[in-house]
Amino acid sequence: MYELYYWPGIPGRGEFVRLALEEAGAAYVDIAQDKSESAAIRAIAQALTGKDVAQPSFAVPVLKSGRRWIGQTANILFFLGARHHLAPASDTGALWTLQLQLTLADLVAEAHDTHHPIAGSLYFEEQKAAARQRSANFTDQRLPKFLDYFERVLARTGSGYLVGRRLSYADLSLFQVNAGLRYAFPNAMGALDAALPRINALCERVQQRPRIAAYLASPRRQNFNEEGIFRHYPELDQT
């Protein structure tokens, strides 16, 4: 039985871990959903600063597995991938899957910084001008470059998956990133749609997997909103 610690009310980085746990059919407790908001926040504080946590994480998500406390999204997925056949068993394959996940993490960070380009401690309204400039560069330059990279990786494998011939946690994460980008930047993503046939096909394939489909239809699925990483501000989605 795993325990997942992440902020209540937002998908954020916790959703990448949830998708892997759901696809694996793993038993887990989601602190954000199984406790009240105040109790969840107290549990998160304990996970990050508690004296019984010998190797504390800087931030959530954190996954508790037995006596292990594992932090950082890519690190958690690396751990789950080996345990639940969501990554190749070989060192080369495992590292390649992790590399793809870390590249997705870079894309996620850049998407977040479109609406908070100056400081995370400031409200969006306090940095609108910088956000417009940052998002214009992101949608014009960075977003196409990232997505073209994953299109090329899928073209190279030829299997419809990013790694080898079977689903990996990197595929699940690309599905989540694609969904988040379409929520935050529907115009920009619509303009790029014709150039993303392999990504679109992969995301459709992921969405149709029985466990993922059941999860997406359940109340456990966290909806995108203007408190998370992917936020829709129309003024930042100009094409």
Task: Name the residue type at position 174.
Answer: L
b/e map of 31-56 (b: 16 or more CB within 10 Å)? bbeebeeeebeebbeebbeeeebeee
Which residues, other chains included, contact 233 with Cβ-Cβ below 8 Å and sequence gap of 6+?
115, 124, 131, 184, 226
Cα separation values, 224 from 12, 113, 142, 184, 227, Å: 8, 16, 22, 9, 8
DSSP 8-state secondary structure symbol assigned to residue 9: T
Q: Can you give the pLDDT of all 239 residues of the chain as single tens digits?
A: 999 999 999 999 999 999 999 999 999 999 999 899 999 999 999 999 999 899 999 999 999 999 999 999 999 999 999 999 999 999 999 999 999 999 999 999 999 999 999 999 999 999 999 999 999 999 999 999 999 999 999 999 999 999 999 999 999 999 999 999 999 999 999 999 999 999 999 999 999 999 999 999 999 999 999 999 999 999 999 76
- The structural domains of the chain, with segments of one domain joined by +, span 2-83, 91-209
> Can you say whether the dihedral through the CA atoms of 104, 110, 115, 120 is positive or negative?
positive
- The owner of tokens 């489909």 is 213
CATH class label, 2-83: alpha beta
Determine the distance from the C-alpha atom of residue 24 to the mean position of all C-alpha atoms in its chain, rounded to a whole number: 16
Strands 2-5 and 68-71 come out as unpaired
Q: Considering the domain 91-209 in this protein, what is its CATH number?
A: 1.20.1050.10
